[in-house]
């Protein structure tokens, strides 16, 4: 897949429709942020996609994102330093964009 074939996105790079997401789309979006996805990234991405399926929303803030990861995957992964290393900037926003989910409502 190439950038030209990406599904429709908004002005911040988030997919307009979460069902258009594929792992190939994730790879391209991650590369735009200079992120090469590995197993650690995919674990968080899969967690987020399950969270979205269950709650019909992205975690609304970075704090709630960290807490949700901690509750699901434990203290080692559910902390802001770990998540910032994987998804620089605002981890919830970056991870949700790569996971093909809507922008978290309270992320800058």
Residues acting as catalytic residues = 107
Q: Which residues on neighbouring strands pair with residue 9, listed in sequence order?
A: 15
51, burial (CB in 10 Å: exposed 0-12, middle 13-18, buried 19+): buried
């Amino acid at each position: 897949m190439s950038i030209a074939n990406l599904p429709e996105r908004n002005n911040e790079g988030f997919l307009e429709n979460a069902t258009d997401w594929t792992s190939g789309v994730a790879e391209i979006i991650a590369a735009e942020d200079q992120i090469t996805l590995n197993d650690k990234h995919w674990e968080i991405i899969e967690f987020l996609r399950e969270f979205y399926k269950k709650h019909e929303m992205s975690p609304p803030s970075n704090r709630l994102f960290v807490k949700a990861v901690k509750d699901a995957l434990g203290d080692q992964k559910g902390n802001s330093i770990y998540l910032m290393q994987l998804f620089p900037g605002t981890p919830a926003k970056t991870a949700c964009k790569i996971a093909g989910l809507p922008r978290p409502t309270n992320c800058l």
